[in-house]
Structure 1
Amino acid sequence: MKTLIYNGTIYSMRTERETFDAIVITENKISECINGEVNPALYDHVIDLKGAVLFPGFVDTHTHLVGTGMALTSISFKGETLAQSVLDVICEATKAMDDDQFLICEGLDDNKLDRKLTLNDIERVTHKKVIIKRVCRHAALVSRAVFNHFNITDDVRDIDGGKYEREDGKLNGWVHDNAMEVILSVASKTDESTITQAVDKAVTAFRSVGLTGVHTEDLAYYDDFKDVLQAYKNVIHNQNPFRLNILRHTDVIEEVLDTDFEYNEYFRPDAMKFYADGALGGRTALMREPYTDDPSTSGLAIYTKSELEAKVKYAREHDIPIAVHMIGDKAVEMVLDAIESYPIKDGRDRLIHVSFLSEDLISRMKQLPVICDIQPMFVASDFPWALARVGHERVRYSYPWRSLLSAGIICGGGSDSPIETYNPMYGIYAAVARQSPDDTQGYNMEEALSVYDAIRLYTTEAAKVARNEDTYGTIEVGKYADFTILKQDPFKVKIEKLYEIETSCTMIDGKIVYQCEG
């Protein structure tokens, strides 16, 4: 059966502004790209775009799919600015809780609150076990009942890759990185059923904003990674298509390699994931110099130099690329040292976030087979308070997307959802405007991208990140019929309106998997 799609603007993304008048789908692939008049009567099925704008399917190269699904059904404080409002919600939510239950909340951004919350604040409204994840998911605020449950007292020592925050020598409730993960590993109980519900929720949400696939890292955060893999299969199949690149965390990589999970056109194995540092908000991103607003710390190294090298060596022994979370410039330096000590034989290593760089680091990256997962929305979320963290001198190469692309380094556009919105139009807007919709100015505008380059992050560049350029990323004969169809043309709206563009329709394998009302 041949399906004609016509009567709109069809951007190929092979070059800037190249368009077709129509395309034809045969089965699940593009079979013709047409410029000129077409006769709809000659085709088995016709899709009239009615003036809408079609792009190759948008792909988000860095998400946490299961976490997104769970966040969509959890209490979230994303965007909240009043500490008392947070406490009011906690008070109400814990009233009917049993003492053995944990209340786990999402999205708290202490940089936007009118005052910093501590465990003493939570204690005033409830004595139940409460965990509030910071928006970056590298820190959390926990109640005293949580500390009591784990027998954590004021004399507890920091652990490798994790720390307990203190005020005047006493725990204030904030736990960072591995200290948080130890708590969450016990507090978050899941099974195949709950994870399947989360996967279904997230896939539905992703497709509603035009995403035809994501690169996700989920396997080490739940009770059994096999439940996650089975949940993927429960939701995603040829009658309900979506495409996943599955990153595999170092904590479970050996077991995952030994499992008989069947990869196919919807599930592709990807790199071995681990963390080199923490996050900027909690001052655990590892920097070369101390933080400007707290000279007592330069951040947190999750691994020592030798431990990092051991991770890379293991990946090389199994012919797997690495994918490493790194925000601070010192973390990037440490990872590049390890990569240079143990070069990859085939493929590209994945550098995730790379928020703070320098000329020398970019020069080194240019010489290596690496790609970068960048999150444009970070600049919208992190400024202007990021200036206080690192000072004006280090800002020049913060979130340096233009410099990376100009150096010929492949960059994929990611959201890090649920940390940031999974809507790619917000990411495209942030890459161009380098500000949030609420800001009045952009930051470090030397690094701003054009609209075309911003869209490339989610199309042609995303395909390169996956080493899958032959099957998607552009509108060409032989490629998957995966399309993101927008109501407005991003090349023709004002920049400040980019994030307002809505998805009209999402197609995967030639199937309509989302269509807006009307």
Structure 2
Amino acid sequence: MSYADTVYIHGKVFTVDDDFTIATALAVRDGLVQAVGSDAEIETLIGPDTVVTDLGGKTVLPGINDSHLHAIAYGLDTPPLSLDVSFPAVRSIADVRELVREAAAAAEDGEWIIGTGWDDGYLDECLAEAGRTPTRWDLDEVSPNNPVFLQDFSRHTSWVNSAALTLAGVDETTPLPPGSLMPVGEDGLLTGIVMEGAQALVQRVLPALTRERREEALRSAISILQSEGITSFTDPAIGPGGEALAGGAMGAEGLAVYADLARRGELGARVNLLLLPTGMSGSAEDFGQNLADIEVPESVDPRMFRVLGVKVFADGIPPSKTAWMHEEYVGGGCGSLCVGGDTDERQVYEVTEMVRIGHESGYQIGVHVTGDRAIDTVADAIIAAQNAHPREDARHYLIHGDFISESTLKRLADNGIGVNMNPTIKWTIADLEVGVVGTERAAYEWPYRSAVESGVHLMSSSDAPVTPPDWRQGISTMILRESKASGAVSGPDQCIGLADAVRTYTINAAWQDFAEDWKGSLEVGKVADLCILDGDLETIDPHDIPAMQVVSTVLGGEVVFQRVAESVA
């Protein structure tokens, strides 16, 4: 008999097999799941050198897979590398001003003040006065000699001061990239809000990221992910198209940073990566040329690091009214695609060509798309590419898919195309969206039940740093659909159960990674990637799931995180 290296007993082991079996014990040998079953069955595998862990009723899940997050950007956007201007750290423009004032006082004249996470749906002044938005003048008084660049929670909108605009050479006459916005006030002057591709006009003058700072940010991010029970993730945008996004955090040098850490065995998580040939407002010609020019690093261990695909930006996001919709937003306008082209027809052509190029180049394609009209366009493009150039198992997928219709979900399912949704963004913006798209569409946004019933491959992710990588909040939101701000239920008919919710962070995410045969569930022969929680996930009130602590994270049988105040041994 081959004894186990480690045995876990007296727990709730969520195998996430086809039947969603919940066992009480698990055995690990050589980094793989050796057996799953009852305590009595697994205790027969205990030998003289076996480490026995008494779970005491705790929950064991397959290692969580956050299948869409920007790790380098997340590391850079997390204190101490960035000001935290997110709710509840700040609750008003006055709070933001005070943080910026303190940072400017501690900085040299001319040094950039950078922060992330603000949301005007949680700023007191914006809530109290209809139409009130943050402006550059809010920042000018507290930081007259230091340029300020504050990205919102979505990273699709930035708030800057006058010093930043001056350094960037941006004024009211500056041409806008397609699909971008820079609002002006009643006086005709720029307000200091820059949206979508217009952010690059300011980001291009931010201090260049060094290789060392990218690595520091990535290590910091992965350390946080490990503490959240996350053992796999997809970084969906690294490449030349990211040089002007997220302060350069998505730039091409990140490829080498990932590859080098993987080569040295220091990555600490299983990473899949999407190349970003062009950013927002790019053309298909640039997309194809840049994709051909990217030097894809070799992977010494494909189970730890792989470049799987390419990322395409199709449109913006609903809160900024830049998602391309069939029906108008509250207040008018339907948004647009965010690629090159001066007509809708030309932009549809550009997106369709990007998809074709990525598909024919043999890559998996992940498309950022949120508005229902843009979603239909992207679905048409992917299906057309697959029909014209058949591939056995391309596994393309839509990223976000906020307003995807039931008919389009069925089309995706029929054509082997997935969709990666974001429950924690739903939780964050549900109340805000009523004023953007109206009550009915806001309730439908991220239609989880419709997706499950369609049979589409359905994944969930945080899109960190857009929202923190808190998958427990994601599961709670999929079950309850309650909003962060008011607690109101948004679209109760789109709630799903615990099993389906857990699958979106585990076995379904492994499908996206072409890895469901060796990870994503706790079945014999699969990798022993584990997330151990401090309670019983099966019986807990869904409202209390976000408060459950991760007490241990295991990657390939090795403990990579252990909460000091807790022990499962």
Do residues 279 (structure 1) and 317 (structure 2) align?
Answer: yes
504-513 vs 109-118, greater mean Cα deviation: 109-118
CA contact (8 A) 2:152 2:158 kept: yes
The answer for the alignment partner of 2:51 in structure 1 is 46
> Superposed, which structure 2 residues align to 1:273-352 within 5 Å?
273-292=311-330, 294-295=331-332, 297-303=333-339, 304-343=347-386, 345=391, 346-352=393-399
Q: For residues 48 and 179 of structure 2, what CA distance do their matches in structure 1 show?
A: 60
CA contact (8 A) 1:434 1:445 kept: yes
SS at match of 2:8: strand
The answer for the alignment partner of 2:129 in structure 1 is none
The answer for the alignment partner of 1:109 in structure 2 is 119
CA contact (8 A) 2:258 2:267 kept: no
1:366, CA displacement in angstroms? 2.9
- For residues 305-359 of structure 1, the C-alpha deviation after alignment (integer angstroms, 9 at most, x for no partner) is 1111220121122111211111111110121121232115232111000111223
> Superposed, which structure 2 residues align to 1:457-476 within 5 Å?
457-476=504-523
CA contact (8 A) 1:67 1:218 kept: no
- Kindly provide the amino acid, as one letter, of the partner of residue 290 in structure 1: E
Aligned with residue 197 of structure 1, among 216, 241, 256: 216
1:69, CA displacement in angstroms? 0.8
The answer for the alignment partner of 1:6 in structure 2 is 9
1:209, CA displacement in angstroms? 1.0
- For residues 168-215 of structure 1, the C-alpha deviation after alignment (integer angstroms, 9 at most, x for no partner) is 222111111111023223314212210111111111100101111111
Do residues 55 (structure 1) and 61 (structure 2) align?
Answer: yes
TM-score (norm 2): 0.86
The answer for the alignment partner of 1:120 in structure 2 is 137
1:29, CA displacement in angstroms? 1.1
CA contact (8 A) 1:241 1:509 kept: no
CA contact (8 A) 2:76 2:217 kept: yes
CA contact (8 A) 1:240 1:513 kept: no
CA contact (8 A) 2:65 2:232 kept: yes
Residues 407 and 57 from structure 1, CA distance in 2 versus in 1: closer, same or farther, beyond 3 angstroms?
Answer: same
- Kindly provide the amino acid, as one letter, of the partner of residue 256 in structure 1: I
Residues 83 and 197 from structure 1, CA distance in 2 versus in 1: closer, same or farther, beyond 3 angstroms?
Answer: same
Do residues 209 (structure 1) and 244 (structure 2) align?
Answer: no
1:15, CA displacement in angstroms? 4.3
1:434, CA displacement in angstroms? 0.8
The answer for the alignment partner of 2:343 in structure 1 is none
CA contact (8 A) 2:255 2:297 kept: no
Q: Is there any run of 5+ residues in structure 1 with no aligned partner, and where? A: none
Q: For residues 217 and 325 of structure 1, what CA distance do their matches in structure 2 show?
A: 10
Do residues 68 (structure 1) and 68 (structure 2) align?
Answer: no
The answer for the alignment partner of 2:105 in structure 1 is 95
1:372, CA displacement in angstroms? 0.8
1:442, CA displacement in angstroms? 1.4
> Superposed, which structure 2 residues align to 1:457-496 within 5 Å?
457-496=504-543
Residues 453 and 229 from structure 1, CA distance in 2 versus in 1: closer, same or farther, beyond 3 angstroms?
Answer: same
- Kindly provide the amino acid, as one letter, of the partner of residue 255 in structure 2: L
- Kindly provide the amino acid, as one letter, of the partner of residue 218 in structure 2: V
Q: Is there any run of 5+ residues in structure 2 with no aligned partner, and where? A: 127-132, 279-289, 340-346
Residues 235 and 45 from structure 1, CA distance in 2 versus in 1: closer, same or farther, beyond 3 angstroms?
Answer: farther
Q: For residues 267 and 436 of structure 2, what CA distance do their matches in structure 1 show?
A: 45
Give the alignment's Cα RMSD to 1 decimal: 2.1
Q: For residues 511 and 209 of structure 2, what CA distance do their matches in structure 1 show?
A: 34
Residues 511 and 206 from structure 1, CA distance in 2 versus in 1: closer, same or farther, beyond 3 angstroms?
Answer: same
CA contact (8 A) 1:13 1:475 kept: yes
CA contact (8 A) 2:85 2:116 kept: yes
TM-score (norm 1): 0.94
CA contact (8 A) 2:256 2:297 kept: no
> Superposed, which structure 2 residues align to 1:417-456 within 5 Å?
417-436=464-483, 439-456=486-503
CA contact (8 A) 2:259 2:297 kept: no
CA contact (8 A) 1:218 1:228 kept: no
The answer for the alignment partner of 2:35 in structure 1 is 32
1:396, CA displacement in angstroms? 5.4
- For residues 96-132 of structure 1, the C-alpha deviation after alignment (integer angstroms, 9 at most, x for no partner) is 4344432221001012212321012112222221111
- Structure with a larger share of its residues in strand: 1
Residues 205 and 340 from structure 1, CA distance in 2 versus in 1: closer, same or farther, beyond 3 angstroms?
Answer: same
Q: For residues 437 and 237 of structure 2, what CA distance do their matches in structure 1 show?
A: 31
Q: How many residues were matched structurally?
A: 516
Q: For residues 108 and 48 of structure 2, what CA distance do their matches in structure 1 show?
A: 62
CA contact (8 A) 2:430 2:442 kept: no
**Runs of at least 4 residues of structure 1 off by over 4 A?**
222-226, 233-240, 257-263
- Kindly provide the amino acid, as one letter, of the partner of residue 10 in structure 1: V
State the percentage of identical aligned residues: 24
The answer for the alignment partner of 2:434 in structure 1 is 387
The answer for the alignment partner of 1:230 in structure 2 is 256
Aligned with residue 266 of structure 1, among 280, 301, 304: 304
Do residues 165 (structure 1) and 183 (structure 2) align?
Answer: yes
Residues 13 and 513 from structure 1, CA distance in 2 versus in 1: closer, same or farther, beyond 3 angstroms?
Answer: same
> Superposed, which structure 2 residues align to 1:404-423 within 5 Å?
404-423=451-470
The answer for the alignment partner of 1:369 in structure 2 is 416
The answer for the alignment partner of 1:77 in structure 2 is 85
